[in-house]
Amino acid sequence: MHPDHTTPTAPTHTPPKGRGRLRSIAFTLALGAAMFAAGAVLLTPDGTTAPRPADHGRAASAPRGSIEALQARVTRLPKDPGGWAALGMAYVQQARTTADPATYDRAEKALRTSLSVQSEDNTDAETAMGALAAARHDFPTALHWARRATAGDPYSSSAHGVLADACTQLGRYDEADEAVQRMVDLRPDAASLARASYAFELKGETARARALMRRSLAAAATPADTAFAHNVLASLNLQDADPRAALAETRTGLTAAPDDAALLETRARAHLALGDTTQAVADYRAAVAIAPLPHHLLGLAELEQSLGNGAQAEESYAVLRAQDRIREAAGDPADTDAILFEADHGNPRRAVTMAEQTLRARPFIAVHDAYAWALHRAGRETEALAQADEALALGTRSALFRYHRAAIHHALGNPEAARRDLTEALREPGFHPLHADAARDLLQRIDTTP
């Protein structure tokens, strides 16, 4: 999974967003096992168990009721801050699923209403405001609200989850680890275990990430939680060059949530890795029909292009350009997909400018990678290498990141370094519809050059 998307947090909270997933950190997380019935334990770094601290966490702020039920509740009880906060979080979840920006506006209106009714000690609304800001990729604002929420209620697991998300995307990885640890200590549930899984995945420790995501799956309380866990597990299988296991995982997940766009996209990537481009196209199209998010559109378009279907690819590229015009008009920083799209299919110099703007507000590893690729495409190889090294500094296992750095190394006249990165990238042979073939061609050229 790309480090900028699917973000590997439980769906009842705000995940970090990018395409596959993503300075080594000395701090080792002690991670909670979801063993509620028999008494939960804490998993220590040496594999032993220790008693888990008492769970003082409150119920997660994400609502269990439907939006319609919550609307009826606030109509009946207009001075209920909890009802407005729950409705606002429900809108955040809906917007992340439908990619409808207007729904974020409805979420903000509901949350502002909650805060106007109760301006102090309103942790649910503050946490939801942080989740909303993160969903909009405004991570400095997400950090502000998360810190306000955790200061007001240090026992809120949900608030610590939003704090972890914001710190991760702002490149504050040690602080993110501390927030995840606190979240697990308070509530070792699907959401906290998913974030713990991601913390290890960012460091390239996929075995630990997988074990924790299995525990998150066991603790899943809703079909959405279940689908999310299966999607992350499938993505980890793809990273480990096991597309058949990934395909089986996505099929299981889609049984619980047949219209989950993230699972459909991951199943498309599994089909692509297995050489079944017909099914890959079908799954990408299904994902786009449900949620026309940039990474779904870009994946579909580049797959169509790789198959020689230029007209179909251009349809998706046209939608991406329209989405970017809307983003630019709103003055919002670009996501990594927009930067990579502009670098590969537009103006690389503009992609550099976009990446510089985004990096100032969001120094996350996926942004460093997109900046590196834009610089490479613009011919600025020395600067590109510094950014590519930063993208891989945590030890993240990303085939796309490795390919990007390999191309930069080759351009700088270092074929041995390029070979090392290409070999790692091609452990995941279908990592990209266009760049996987380019990686194989480049490796062959290096190997046959005297």
pLDDT in tens, the chain (450 residues): 445 643 444 444 433 333 443 322 222 233 332 222 222 223 333 332 232 333 333 333 433 468 999 999 999 999 999 999 999 999 998 888 776 788 999 999 999 999 999 999 999 999 999 999 999 999 999 999 999 999 999 999 999 999 999 999 999 999 999 999 999 999 999 999 999 999 999 999 999 999 999 999 999 998 889 999 999 999 999 999 999 999 999 999 999 899 999 999 999 999 999 999 999 999 999 999 999 999 999 999 999 999 999 999 999 999 999 999 998 998 889 999 999 999 999 999 999 999 999 999 999 999 999 999 999 999 999 999 999 999 999 999 999 999 999 999 999 999 999 999 999 999 998 999 999 999 999 999 999 987
Architecture of the 333-448 domain: Alpha Horseshoe (1.25)
For residue 379, with 0-12 CB atoms within 10 Å meaning exposed, 13-18 middle and 19 or more buried, which class applies? exposed
Residue type, position 254, single letter: L
Q: How far apart are CA 315 and CA 384, in angstroms?
A: 31
Question: Was domain 31-265 assigned CATH 2.40.10.220?
Answer: no
What residue spans in the chain does CATH classification 1.25.40.10 cover? 31-265, 333-448
**What distances in angstroms separate CA 100 from CA 103, 221, 291, 377, one per listed residue?**
6, 26, 9, 32
Q: How far apart are CA 127 and CA 129, in angstroms?
A: 5
| Helix, strand, coil percent content, the chain, rounded in steps of 5 | 65, 0, 30
The backbone torsions φ and ψ at residue 136, rounded to the nearest 5 degrees and listed phi first, read -85, 0
Cβ atoms of 355 and 362 closer than 8 Å: no
